[in-house]
Copies of this chain bind each other. A is one copy, B any other.
């Protein structure tokens, strides 16, 4: 018997909304999923979804167990002095994923995305809309948007590849590297993609 006794009915409404969101994102993808549809699946009023979650991005990061709101990441890139964008983004990325729990979450997320097409699709749509489209234009007002998006995506590719080799494939040189070393080596690469002439 639990010393805390029975939970009142409806106490797991938040969890039911998250499960409904998981199903909605998996079935429809990120772009087509709606908070209204998620509320309908969970059998609750839309207002209740808004009570628990700030919006679709926040609900998605909860479903994917991403430990950070993407708005924070975008703010890190947009809010920095132009010449510090690269090192700030690498430092923020490692701050999110480099703890033991972060590494486990990264590994789980990577495996899920690589083995389930619907997970890949929803993560892709989410990142393009909520992160890359915003980052691409932030520090590149004169650049054509297609090139800016390509460079933002390549920057993400560098961070993804670094994380795969450090957390999942455990290459010795990357296991040994300290966070300051990684910021020093990778920061200028990210800088080159996102704000090349700073």
Distance in Å from the Cβ of A154 to the closest Cβ of chain B? 6
Cα separation A156 to B172 with both chains bound (whole Å): 13
Question: A174 at interface (Cβ–Cβ under 8 A)?
Answer: yes
Q: Does A120 contact B (CB under 8 A)?
A: yes
Contact flag A150-B173 (CB < 8 Å), given A114-B114, A189-B189: yes
Q: How far is the CB of A109 from chain B (nearest CB, A)?
A: 11
Give the shortest distance, in Å, between A34 (CB) and chain B (any CB). Answer: 22
Q: Is the CB of B186 within 8 A of A174?
A: no
Pick from B150, B159, B169, B193: contact of A174, CB below 8 A. Answer: B150
State whether the Cβ of A91 lies closer than 8 Å to any Cβ in chain B. Answer: no
Q: Counting CB contacts under 8 A, is A165 at the interface? A: yes
Contacts of A169 in B (CB 8 A): 113, 120, 123-124
Are A188 and B181 also in contact (CB < 8 A) when A153-B173, A173-B153, A174-B153 are?
no
Of B110, B158, B171, the residue contacting A158 (CB under 8 A) is B158
Copies held by the complex:
2
A–B complex contacts, Cβ < 8 Å, 26 sampled: A110-B114, A114-B168, A120-B168, A128-B171, A128-B172, A128-B173, A132-B173, A146-B173, A149-B172, A150-B173, A150-B181, A153-B171, A153-B173, A153-B174, A154-B162, A154-B186, A157-B164, A157-B165, A158-B189, A159-B161, A160-B160, A160-B164, A161-B162, A189-B189, A189-B192, A189-B193
- Which residues of A are in contact with B by a Cβ distance under 8 Å? 110-111, 113-115, 120, 123-124, 127-128, 132, 146, 149-154, 156-162, 164-165, 168-174, 176-177, 181, 185-186, 188-189, 192-193
Leading 8 A-B pairs by shortest Cβ distance: A161-B161, A157-B161, A160-B161, A149-B173, A153-B173, A150-B173, A157-B162, A158-B158
